[in-house]
Structure 1
Amino acid sequence: MTIDRLREVAASHRDRIADFCSRLIQTPSLPGQEMQAAELIMSEMKALRYDDVWQDEVGNVIGLIKGDRSGKSVMLNTHMDHVDIGDRSSWDYDPYSGEIRDGYVCGRGAVDIKGPTSSQVYAPFLAREAGLPIYGDVYVVGVVQEEVGGLGSIELGKSLRVDCAIVGEPSSNTLRRGNRGRIEIIAIFRGRSCHASMPDKGINPHYSMANFVAALRHLDRVEDPFLGSETFTPTLVYADQTSSNVVPSELRLHIDWRTVPQRSPDEIKEMLASLLEKSLVDGAWGEIKVKDITLTTYTGATRNVPAHFPPFLIDEEHPLVRIAQEALSESFSRKVEVKRWDFATDAGHLVAAGIPSIGFGPGDETLAHTNQERISIEEMVEASMAYAFLCHRLTNPAAWAS
């Protein structure tokens, strides 16, 4: 009867969940510009009678539903920012319209991540409406600047201590227990500038970089049995010159390294530093560094963060995975698969802060960052009901003891 009642309550609020998602999409919130979205989320939480709603120094929104008893605490985590729309004319609908069409809410951020945000914000309210006990405190958070480095969750991991977290990136309502991380490395090659008509007068850093890139292809890759292989991909190149008839004195090569737990950032830097040293032509020099990002949030707070999302992996036998899979399977009356994400998420930052985490959210992840972005309303409602049941189960100390 508990699940049946929860399904009824969730279905009765279908239009409210869809409308909230639509209003969020109509509120553009690029990184550093999340203020209006934050105000909208806080207003909705207050309308849903959260026990407390506030913002922290960097602009993260935190809503609290207090537990009935002294149980486990849970964080439901999504981010408020989204990527740019790109060429508006390439969309079949206005990307900021939040148009509801054929059972979908359409527009930028529908999947990543305003649909999951809508489902999470409504989840504790649905639990209360259904009379489902919540044994410990539930924090529903909307964090800033995930798309550009994860500043919000990094800061939250320092200030908000919870027993576990559910990251709401899209997963088509399946359970996720891991993803590779990402670290952005800059390889710097230095030489001596000269006129291109007299190349022997200089030291051209292009030859050192060419040696390095050729050798990079042949580095051994570490593979994780669940997450797959690490990858390292040269992407951007910058020169300290804009004139095509001048040999530059410096080149900067950006490397996108998708990481697995078996290889630490320090090991990556040491490996690349050794490779760089072997690649240098006579008279050249260089260095390896992790890219640093200076981010300013909409509150005016400024933080320096490394361009590094740690990998996220929780053991399949961990109680959090077991409880979540059982709860979701019961919610949906079907066995819920446990998979991985192929992209980096804030779960890595939360796990690095000591918070056991899993992933679960509505939406087709292959539509994220595309001009076809849309999310199924039925999937959002189903997810909101499931989040509510997860809050019930995960806050119950007895579930962890079994």
Structure 2
Amino acid sequence: MGENAIHKLAPALERLAAFEAETVRVDGLDYREGLNAVFVHGGVAGNVIPDDAVLTLNYRFAPSRSVAEATEYVRALFPEYELTVTDASEGARPGLDDPLAQEFVRAVGAEARPKYGWTDVARFSALGIPAVNFGPGDPLLAHADDERVACDEILACERALRSWLTGGSH
């Protein structure tokens, strides 16, 4: 006899399914944002119409936005829903305008690419300390079932870092 709270999430889920992520250029790198449903919780039993439901979203935003700007962006997309932020972290700009970061990228022979996902580099960035993500493996496999790193990639990173730290040639 009640109204199904999970069914009432259908407009939000439809909006998410139709959402087209922006690609935002930051310091010469293209960041593709993402907004996804990652969890739906509701109901208390298999024979009871749920009177409450929660949709959890994950918004991966470009480092050109602050947490406050990202929150307002999501709030504007879903104005009819109550929004509670449960986890938020500032992003880290690439920092490629810093000479030390530029020298590091050159020294290790890497190509600068956007980092999708949060790392501790954001902590350094917040303090104004130049920092970059550098390491072996394919970041697009992070958290995937087939996530892996080849030993030769680990050794190549070790050689590149050792060369940079000792002032040797790459």
Instruction: Please confirm whether the aligned pair reaches a TM-score higher than 0.5, indicating the same fold.
Output: yes
Partner of 1:104: none
Query: 2:39–2:55: 8 Å Cα contact kept in structure 1?
Result: yes
Query: 2:94–2:114: 8 Å Cα contact kept in structure 1?
Result: no
- In the superposition, relative to structure 1, how do residues 313 and 262 fare at CA in structure 2: closer, same or farther (>3 Å)? closer
Give 1:215 deviation, angstroms: 2.9
Counterpart check, 1:227 vs 2:30: yes
Letter in 2 for 1:358: V
Counterpart check, 1:246 vs 2:21: no
- In the superposition, relative to structure 1, how do residues 317 and 289 fare at CA in structure 2: closer, same or farther (>3 Å)? same
1:337 is matched with which residue: 104, 111, 125?
111
Query: 1:230–1:257: 8 Å Cα contact kept in structure 2?
Result: yes
Larger strand fraction of residues: 1
Counterpart check, 1:359 vs 2:122: no
CA distance in 1, matches of 2:156, 2:52: 54
Greater RCO, 1 or 2 (C-alpha within 8 Å, sep 6+): 1
| Identity of matched residues, % | 24
CA distance in 1, matches of 2:19, 2:67: 16
CA distance in 1, matches of 2:147, 2:130: 33
CA distance in 2, matches of 1:262, 1:368: 23
- In the superposition, relative to structure 1, how do residues 220 and 337 fare at CA in structure 2: closer, same or farther (>3 Å)? closer
- Superposed counterparts of 1:208-223, under 5 Å: 208-218=8-18, 221-223=21-23
Larger radius of gyration: 1
1:261 is matched with which residue: 55, 58, 63?
63
CA distance in 1, matches of 2:19, 2:154: 43
Letter in 2 for 1:213: L
Partner of 1:375: 150
Counterpart check, 1:318 vs 2:98: yes
- TM-score (norm: length of structure 1): 0.36
CA RMSD of aligned residues (A): 2.9
Give 1:250 deviation, angstroms: 1.4
2:123 is matched with which residue: 349, 365, 369?
349
CA distance in 1, matches of 2:47, 2:120: 45
- Superposed counterparts of 1:3-402, under 5 Å: 198-199=1-2, 203-218=3-18, 221-225=21-25, 226-239=29-42, 241-278=43-80, 287-291=82-86, 307-329=87-109, 336-365=110-139, 368-369=142-143, 370-371=145-146, 373-376=148-151, 378-393=152-167
Number of residue equivalences: 163
Unaligned runs of 5+ in 1: 1-197, 279-285, 292-306, 330-335, 394-402
